[in-house]
Every structure is written in C-alpha cells, then in structure tokens.
Amino acid sequence: MRFLFKTDYEDDIKLFPHSGYVVSYGILLALLLIAPYVLSSYLMSQLVFVCIYATVGVGLLILTGFTGQASLGHAAFLAIGAYTAAYLQKYNVPFPVYFLAAGALTGLIGAMVGFPALRLTGIYLVIATISFALIVEEILARWESVTNGNEGMRVKTLSLLGVTVPRDSPTFYFLCLAVLVLTIVGTLNLLRSPTGRAFVAIRDSETAARSMGVNVALYKVKSFAISAAITGFAGVLFAHKLSFISPEMFTLQLSIEFIIVILIGGTFSLHGAVLGAIFIVMIDPFLTYLKDDLPGIIAGIAATFGAGAATAGNIQSKVAAFASLNGLKGAIYGIIIVLFVLFEPLGLYGRWLKIKLFFQLFPLYKRATFKRQKIYVKSERNR
Amino acid sequence: MLDFVQQLVSGVALGCVYGLIALGFVLVYKATEVVNFAQGDLMMLGGFFAFTFIGMMGLNYWIGFAGAVAAMALFGMLAERVVVRPILGYPQFSIIMATIGLGYFLRSVAGMIWGTDDLKIETPFSHGVLRVGSLVLAYDKLSVIAATMILCALLWLFFNKTTLGTAMRASSENMLAAYYMGIPVKRVVSVVWAISAAVATCAGVLLAPITFIHSNVGLVLGLKAFPAAVLGGFGSIPGAVVGGVLIGVIESMAGFYLAEGWKDVAPYIVLLAVLLLKPEGLFGLHVRKKV
C-alpha cells in the first residue's frame, strides 16, 4: 500500500496525487484516442453519447453532488443549450460563437433559476425544478417563431473553422471528448479553489458555512449558473449528434436519467458522472443483446442440464416472449434504481473504491469500513 | 356566468382528484417525512385492481371497491417494507430516487399485465346528471367531490383525535424519541403506507369513469398533485385538498379563458409563485431552527 506524505496544502490539492494517476489516466486517454479506429460505428456513436451524458453528469454533480441542491430540471438546461445552437445556426453564426453563446445563455437562465431556489430546500427545490422544466418544455412547444413548435428543428451539420464535421465522424467524437475532458479538468480546478470549498461547505451544513463567512446565497447561485452552463454546452453537442431536436426529447424522463447517471455512478466524485454515463448509455445495447441472445443461451443451459430438445425449445420461446414484453426496460430501470439506492449508495465508483481497498489491504479488509450508520428520522421542518 | 360556474364545478371535481392523490403524499410526509414519488402509480395500480375485481371478475361495484382498497393497503405495506424501510432516515434525495424507481417499476409491470389500452370501469356514477336550474352536474364528478370531503374529514379526525394519529405525528418529529416513548415506530410507518395506498386507490377508482385507467395515468396526475400538496403546505391534510381544488380550478379556468397551452403550465406557474412568496405553502407551519 502506498502512503502519501503531505507536507503542505499544495500537496493536498494536487490534481495528480502521485505518479500512478498520470500513468493510468494517460493509458485511458490513449485508449480513448485510438477508439475510433478500433470500435464499430455503432459503439462509437454510443461513446459520443457517453461523453455528452458524462458532461451533463459533471454539471449536475457540481450542483447536486457538491453543493447539495437536488435538481430534476436539467433536461430543460440541455434543451435551452440545444435550441440556442439550432436557432443561432440558422443565421450562420460560426460554431465557436454559438457554442459559447449557448453556454452563456444557459448559465444566465441557471442563475435566474438559482435566485428563487435560494429560499427552497429539499423536496421543495426538487418540485420547483420539476416545474421549471415542465414550463420550459411547454414554452419550447408553443414559441413557434423561434423553436418551430412541436415539429422540431433540424440542426445542420457542424462546421468548425470551415471544415464540416459530420455527426458520426471521429472528429466529432474528438470534439465531444475534448469538451468532456476540459469540463472535468475545469471542474477539478473549481472544486479545489475557494469556490469549490464553499460549495462543499454549503452541502455539509448551511448553518456552519454561513457562520464561517461563506456567502451562501452567492455561492448557491454560482453553483446553479456553472452547472447550467456546462449542461448548455452539452446541449449544443447533443443537438448536433441527434441532428434534429423537438420538445418531447427534453422531458422529465431525461432529467430523471441524468439524476440516475450520478446516482448510479456515485455522487461524491467526478468519476461517478463518467461511470454512470457509461452505464446509462450502454444499458440500451445490453438490453437489446439480452433480448436477442438470452433465450438461446438459457435454452442451451437447460439442454446441458439434461432437458430434452422439446423442453429446451419451449423454454426458449417462453424466455423470448418475456424478453420482448413491452416496458421491460422500464421495469429493469426501476429495479436498478431501487437496488442502487438500497445496497450501493456510493454508486459504481464506491464499489470500485471498495474493490481497490480490498486488494490494497488484503487480507485485512473489513466490511465495516463502508458500513452505513443507523440513522433515525428527525424532522427537517424545523431546519 | 353559467360557463364560469360550469368550469368552476368541473375544476373543483378535477381538483378533488388531485387533492386525493396529494392527501396520500401528505399522509406519508406527515408521518415519515418521506416524499413518495410513486403515489400516482399506487393510484394507477389501485384502479387496475378495481378493474380486475369489477370489470373482469364481475363483482359488485362496492365489493370490488373494498377489495381493491384492501389489496392496495397490503401492497402499500409491502412497498414500505421492501423499498422504504431500509433507507428510512437517510437523506431525502435517496428516498425520492427509490420511490421514483418504484414508480418506474410499477408503471412497466402494470403495462405488462393489463396492457397499454385505456380501461374503463362501470360504476353507479358513470351515467346520469344532476340538474340544478340550468347547471348540469355529472354524477361521476359529484361523487369525487363528496368522497374527497368525507375522506379528508375522516383523515383529519384520525390524525388529530386518535392515539395512533398522534403517534404518527410524534414519529415524524423525532423517530428515536417516539421510540423511547413506547411507540412501535416501524408498525406505525407501515400503517401509514397502508392508509396512503388505500386513499390512492379511492382516487383511482373514483377517477376511472372520468379519465379512464392506463399505465401512465399515475405519472400524469401525480405530477399535478405535487403542486397541490405544495400549495397546501405539504404537511396539512385540509391544505392538500384546498391546494388540489385550487390547482384544479386554475387549470380548468386557464383551459377555458386563456390561449391553448396555458392549461398545462398554469398550475406550475402558480406553484413557483407560491414557492417564491410563501415557501411553506398556504397552510404550512413556519418554524425557525433554534441554534
């Protein structure tokens, strides 16, 4: 096991605490860079979605994970980013300009949402953000002169510095990857700055933060604005990737998906956003795979355990019928959410840390290290 | 003027449905400070149970109604035992996510079992209207209003006058202290979920003639019941119903007098305004923490 010896604060806030980080992230980056030349075009497309979802996840983590303000309205921010891009594109605004404009506008609207949110906590904030998202969805459907209403908007192929970048080209993937990496590095820097420390202080105890001299209102609004702006940037890429946007894409369902991203990934570290995004995006192809191949596999297993050909065929058709049931995906989603909340509240990244610690401490690992304490309900009404 | 009264009555009836769902939220919130995002889906499931008993098995309406309520009360206890109890007391956000997950699950499973078509239950209130002067009131809407009033009164009496109700309020204030006072907290929470699922079932069955039952009805109406609960202050039983009625009236007035599109957002605009001006709701208590 490695012991880090820290002598001053600079040591404590290093981006790469030791050389192992440089090596492992270097390898990861190299793998991601050669990915377009190795993976199939379908997987590449999924990888682009992973980048976009992870970017949103990082944005949401700043707000929910590090400032402690739950939001179920991030689909609205994504929509504002996407529609800004599509609208400005009509007037031949170059990509870098509308990319930044989308982020700026979304950030501004995020700050405007943040102001009223100052007075709200917990469940009230969740409901307020849901209301905001529903109102935005309705505005998108009704403000036809700008958004083209329910018919949706076509998004032209991205053109960057005079070069067209089709949505399934490796260049587009590199662009998304670059946005994600820049977002992560920027967020890491933000989180080790005084602003980030203030965010975490507010999350842990608002009263304590205020008595330490943190301007709670200011930092909450900042957190909303930054989170929304990042989501807006992701929205631009999202619009280009889909090449067509309409209001019914940005529903509450999508907001919930974003929350699931950070919930499944783990809300205490930026790793969570990426792991959660991989999970959410890859669950679709995985379920399709199950639907196609699982019946055959199960029948094969049944056959090896001595079932006759007729029984095996019977089992295969039964499983196939079950796998093609409508809404199976929703049920699996639901079960996954509940299981994660109940049994793995630290998410996938928490599981990774536990496995890592198990091998580092082998054979001294104790389960109790991560055991949750017993908590009793105390009214939040008197807070 | 007649139009106005007609809209008012249909708004009140719609609002009573929101109020009934909001009552379920408020019950669970009052007793455990848990917000159950699957409340609308419990309502949907209750409607489907009633459909199975009445429509498919051909039972008498009232027997089927009672059967559905009893079955859903058991189901509410089961849901509490499996999903909520292990994380009771953890940050609200976890519990909200768990109930959202539960809602997803219930919606899909209901869709698998009962299909995705709109189902209809024949009720004694399905047909017929009451005429008061030139005003036309449908029985199905009147039945919703009457049932809401009765349930609201019963629940208010239950919470404020009975020992069990007091125990519920105590365990929400401070679970550990309530436990020390000899209140069987786990059983109390279990009972609250049963009651809340039963109330949701009443909403589902009464709603059946008006909007029909399909697997997404819970999501749609549940989202409308939130503003109702918040308007009422989230911890107040009469507040939930008043909030529901307000939302229903606002929605139906906006649908009648304003341009298309306002109908769907008006409740949320009102909600945001209320949250801004009076975050504790119209009937909520405002308490400051003493440090």
**Distance in Å, alpha carbon of A141 to nearest chain B alpha carbon:** 9
Read off the pLDDT of each residue in B96-106 and give the average, rounded to a whole number.
90
The pLDDT of residue A383: 45
Q: What is the pLDDT of residues A14-38, one digit of tens each?
A: 888 888 888 988 999 999 888 888 8
Cα–Cα distance between A282 and A46 in angstroms, integer? 7
| Structure-token pair, residue A153 | 């908007």
Burial of A274 (0-12, 13-18, 19+ CB in 10 A): buried
| Structure-token pair, residue B181 | 């006072």
Residue of A206, A376, A383 to mutate, interface with B, max B Cβ within 10 Å: A376
Cα–Cα distance between B168 and B175 in angstroms, integer? 10
> Does the ipTM exceed 0.95?
no
**Distance in Å, alpha carbon of B95 to nearest chain A alpha carbon:** 8
Tell me which of A61 and B286 has the higher pLDDT.
A61
Residue of A267, A375, A381 to mutate, interface with B, max B Cβ within 10 Å: A381
Residue of B39, B81, B94, B104 to mutate, interface with A, max A Cβ within 10 Å: B104
Beta carbons of A125 and A71 less than 8 angstroms apart: yes
B33·A120 Cβ contact <8 A: no
| Structure-token pair, residue B125 | 């209130």
Q: A279 to each of A15, A227, A283, how far by Cα in Å?
A: 26, 21, 6
The pLDDT of residue B285: 57
Helix (H) or strand (E) holding B138: strand B135-138
Find out whether the peptide bond into A247 is cis, omega within 30 degrees of 0: no
> Which pLDDT band holds residue B91 (cuts at 50, 70, 90)?
confident
| Structure-token pair, residue B1 | 């003027």
A325·B97 Cβ contact <8 A: no
pLDDT at residue B186 greater than cutoff 90: no
Q: What is the pLDDT of residues B50-59, one digit of tens each?
A: 888 888 887 8
Closest CA to A76 of A44, A109, A54: A109
Residue of A258, A336, A341 to mutate, interface with B, max B Cβ within 10 Å: A341
**Cβ neighbours for B10, distance < 8 A, ≥ 6 positions apart:** B141, B252
SS3 content of chain B, % helix, strand, coil (to 5): 75, 5, 20
Helices then strands (H, E): number in chain B? 11, 2
Q: Is B135 helix (H, G, I), strand (E, B) or coil?
A: strand
A336·B101 Cβ contact <8 A: yes
Look at chain B and count its residues.
Answer: 291
* Cβ neighbours of B178 in A, within 8 Å: none
* Closest chain A residue to B96, measured at CA: A123
> In this complex, is the C-beta atom of B100 within 8 Å of any C-beta atom belonging to chain A?
yes
Cα–Cα distance between A262 and A360 in angstroms, integer? 26
* Closest chain B residue to A113, measured at CA: B272
Quote the distance between the C-alpha of residue B201 and its chain's center.
9
**Distance in Å, alpha carbon of A160 to nearest chain B alpha carbon:** 38
B33·A379 Cβ contact <8 A: yes
* Cβ neighbours of B179 in A, within 8 Å: 376
Burial of B22 (0-12, 13-18, 19+ CB in 10 A): buried
Read off the pLDDT of each residue in B90-94 and give the average, rounded to a whole number.
79
> In this complex, is the C-beta atom of B96 within 8 Å of any C-beta atom belonging to chain A?
yes
Closest CA to A156 of A222, A223, A92, A108: A92
Which DSSP string do the residues of B73-102 spell out, in sequence order? Answer: HHHHHHHIIIIIGGGTTS-HHHHHHHHHHH
Q: Choose the closest CB to A330 out of B108, B234, B261.
A: B108
**Rounded (10°) CA dihedral B102, B104, B107, B110:** -60
> In this complex, is the C-beta atom of B124 within 8 Å of any C-beta atom belonging to chain A?
no
**Cβ neighbours for A104, distance < 8 A, ≥ 6 positions apart:** A229, A232
The pLDDT of residue B291: 46
Q: From the CA atom positions of chain A, what is the Rg in Å?
A: 23
Sequential pLDDT tens for chain A (383 residues)? 677 788 888 888 888 888 888 898 899 999 988 888 888 888 888 899 999 999 999 999 999 889 988 888 899 999 999 999 989 988 888 888 889 999 999 999 999 888 877 877 777 888 888 888 988 988 888 887 778 778 888 887 777 777 787 788 888 899 999 999 999 999 999 999 999 999 999 988 888 888 999 999 899 999 999 999 999 999 999 998 888 888 888 888 889 889 888 888 888 888 989 999 999 888 888 887 877 777 778 778 877 877 777 777 777 777 777 777 767 788 888 898 899 888 888 888 888 888 888 888 888 888 888 877 777 766 665 54
* Cβ neighbours of A67 in B, within 8 Å: none
**Distance in Å, alpha carbon of A138 to nearest chain B alpha carbon:** 7
* Cβ neighbours of B101 in A, within 8 Å: 333-338, 341
A381·B90 Cβ contact <8 A: no
Cα–Cα distance between A214 and A199 in angstroms, integer? 9
φ, ψ of residue B254 to 5 degrees: the values are -65, -35
Q: B244 to each of A267, A349, B8, B145, B279, how far by Cα in Å?
A: 35, 42, 13, 11, 17
Quote the distance between the C-alpha of residue B156 and its chain's center.
15
A333·B104 Cβ contact <8 A: yes
Q: Choose the closest CB to B98 out of A331, A342, A372.
A: A342
Residue of B214, B275, B286 to mutate, interface with A, max A Cβ within 10 Å: B275
Q: Choose the closest CB to B287 out of A372, A374, A382.
A: A382
Count the Cβ atoms, other than its own, within 10 Å of residue A265.
30
* Cβ neighbours of A331 in B, within 8 Å: 104-105, 108-109, 112
Beta carbons of B222 and B65 less than 8 angstroms apart: no
Residue B136 pairs with which residues in a beta bridge? B131
- Range name among A87-101, B15-29, B250-264 with the lowest pLDDT average: B250-264
**Rounded (10°) CA dihedral B88, B93, B95, B97:** -160
Prediction pTM value: 0.88
**Distance in Å, alpha carbon of A148 to nearest chain B alpha carbon:** 15
Beta carbons of B80 and B193 less than 8 angstroms apart: yes
